[in-house]
Amino acid sequence: MKPLLLFLVSITVYSFVYSKPVEEYVCQLGFTFEMSQQAGWGQNKPVVIAIQPLSPADAAGLKVNDIIESINFAPTEGQMVNIIHDWLYNNTDDQIRLTVSNLKYSNKDLTLFKDCKLANAINEKDLAYSHAFYSLEDVQLRNFTCPFKTNVNSEVNLMKYKTFTFPMIDENHKDLENIINEEIKSFLEKIGLTYVTESADLIVHTYYSYNKNLNYEGNVNADKFPTACRYNVHSSTIETLPIYYHPLINQRQAQYFLNFGIRLIDRRRSANNNLFVVWECEANEMLSGDYRLEAYSKFHIPLMLMQYPYIKTREAAHFSYKKIKYNYTGLNYNIDNLKEIVDIDRFSPAYQASIRPGDEVERICGIKLEGDSKEASNAYKQFIYKTMPLRDSKTTYTDASGFTKCMFWDKFQYVQVAEAFKNPEYKTMYAYLFYFEPYINLSGTNILFFEIKRGKDKFSVKVTPTVRVEQVFENYK
């Protein structure tokens, strides 16, 4: 949970500011990178590690794990990270030309058109993030870790491997291995490798075990032990799993032990039992209950393979899940005076409703706007604290900033929640960002009314927003 002003500082880390006539602009490209130290994947070059949805990078087709070969035709290999950053962000060009490589393509040219906003403007997406506790159902920032040990052979260049296959299936585990192979095949094809039945570059080996814990000791408080919450790429949801992944839980508390591993073998450099392992990822889990290999592998293979071809961490894999759903009107507010509109996205719902830069917003859906960001932040904190009794404790989770009391609203108290949003003490003017939710707007109509002041004139404007939904799931260091 972050104060508004602290949040606003953090969101511009990968931006730059430069002067245009009269006003300053902040421009973003929408991706992050790091300089690779991995011999087999872009060593001493920048590798893309994250892409923001709806950003210039996303629109241009830039992908996670892309190796940036050049920036505006200047080779990146061996350059210092501050030089790469300057080439990307500290210039006044309206566009950036990147040449990138990945498993699907080599030296592909992309053009990124910068997204520039006034430096003192805050948009509705950022406001939705900074007011997440209005609707944790719609704004979630969650991290989790998996016990994946990953290794890559320093002698190989992973770019040269283009095809893969599987060894003969063990008939005693036919159903399980079909599930495993299909999951691996789907992922590897998605990132650019081609499945063939013979003469493949890579042979995919898997190994696994599932055993009862012979030293298991029951505990009357076992139902209170923390279990793993992880992201299911198939359902796009966070799920609670019967897995113990907590340093304070003793092995004697686990009912089962599960081991699962994936190896990618260089076919040409392997002979007899001397397998030349190119890449390997292995998971060892303690289970609080029955969780069969079929279900585990289908859930976790995509997570394990996110470490290929570029390894983020070797001893454990860290993941971040970001979800946001909010009302978009296209308004950009003045961070120094939150009542003032400093910019409006062209052709947006607010623009079409005739709201213009320089207008002041006095009320939104009947809620008076507070222009002072400090006052607004203090009121938001009070709202969180005083409405805790209206939340469902059964939905409790810990967010990415370590706040342990994140909870959804209690479905049986939606009327009381809606009343709290109307309380002027809490200054909930930005609750309109989630006006489609029944605990904010009991009427069920997602139509917004803005009371506007333009010079000496005052008038009401009806805006029909667009509901935007973004989800980002990343593997990070």
Reported as a single tens digit per residue, the pLDDT across 395-425 is: 999 999 999 999 999 999 999 999 999 999 9
Cis peptide before 302, with omega less than 30 degrees from 0? no
**Nearest-angstrom CA–CA distance, 284 and 208:** 10
User: Are 282 and 180 in a shared domain?
Assistant: yes
Q: Grade residue 23 by pLDDT with cuts at 50, 70 and 90.
A: low
Backbone torsions φ then ψ of 157, nearest 5 degrees: -110, 110
- Chosen domain end from 315, 343, 363: 315
Q: Are 120 and 342 spatial neighbours (Cβ–Cβ below 8 Å)?
A: yes
Of 164, 219, 167, 216, the closest CA to residue 192 belongs to: 164
**CATH number of domain containing 219:** 3.30.160.670
Alpha carbon of 437 to those of 180, 424, 428, 466, 471: distances in Å? 40, 19, 14, 14, 18
Which residue stretches of 291-370 are H helix?
293-305, 349-352
Does one domain contain both 155 and 291?
yes
CB atoms within 10 A of CB 243: 24
* Nearest to 406, CA basis, from 393, 394, 397: 397
Could you list the beta-strand ranges (E) of 76-195.
Answer: 95-101, 108-113, 115-118, 121-123, 139-146, 148-152, 163-165, 194-195
N residues, the chain: 477
pLDDT tops 80 at residue 9: no
Q: How far is CA 432 from CA 3, 73, 363, 446, 465, in A?
A: 19, 45, 11, 9, 10
Based on the fold, state whether residues 214 and 101 are members of the same structural domain: no
- HSE-CB of 256 using CA atoms within 13 angstroms: 15
Give the pLDDT mean for 247-260: 92
Quick one: 134 and 106 in the same domain? Answer: no
Cβ-contact 419, 441 below 8 angstroms = no
- % of residues, the chain, pLDDT over 70: 95
Say whether pLDDT at 14 is over 50.
no
Kindly state whether residues 261 and 198 are assigned to the same domain: yes
Instruction: Quickly state the pLDDT bin for 315 (edges 50, 70, 90).
Output: very high
Distance CA 9, CA 53 (A): 20
In CATH, what number is assigned to the domain containing residue 416? 2.30.42.10
Q: How confident is the model at residue 19 (pLDDT cuts 50, 70, 90)?
A: very low
Residue 4 has phi, psi (to 5 degrees) of -55, -50
Write out the two tokens for 79. Answer: 């350059």
What is the extent of the structural domain holding 187?
A: 148-315
Q: How far apart are CA 217 and CA 250, in angstroms?
A: 10
Q: Based on the structure, what is the number of domains in the chain?
A: 3
Among 305, 319, 312, CA closest to 181: 305
- Verify that 157 and 297 share a domain, yes or no: yes
- H-run or E-run covering 383: helix 373-386
My answer on whether 267 and 358 are in the same domain is no
Evaluate if residue 13 carries a pLDDT over 60: no
What average pLDDT score do residues 329-351 get? 95
Tell me the two tokens of residue 156: 């190989």
Q: What is the mean pLDDT of residues 56-64?
A: 97
Q: Assess whether 361 and 401 both reside in one domain.
A: yes
As a 3-state breakdown, the chain gives helix, strand, coil percent values, each rounded to 5, of 25, 35, 40
Instruction: List pLDDT tens digits, range 160-207.
Output: 999 999 999 988 899 999 999 999 999 999 999 999 999 999 999 999
User: Do the Cβ atoms of 94 and 102 come closer than 8 Å?
Assistant: no
Q: Among 30-34, 58-62, 140-144, 335-339, where is mean pLDDT lowest?
A: 335-339
17 and 2, same structural domain? yes
Considering the domain architecture, whether residues 335 and 347 belong to the same structural domain is answered as: yes
Note whether 164 and 311 are same-domain residues: yes
Task: Give the span between the Cα atoms of 410 and 407, in whole angstroms.
Answer: 9
How far is Cα 92 from Cα 96, in angstroms, rounded to an integer?
A: 10
Sort 67 into a burial class: Cβ within 10 Å, 0-12 / 13-18 / 19+: buried
**Is the same domain home to 260 and 274?**
yes
Q: How many H helices and E strands in the chain?
A: 9, 28
What's this model's pTM, rounded to 2 decimal places? 0.89
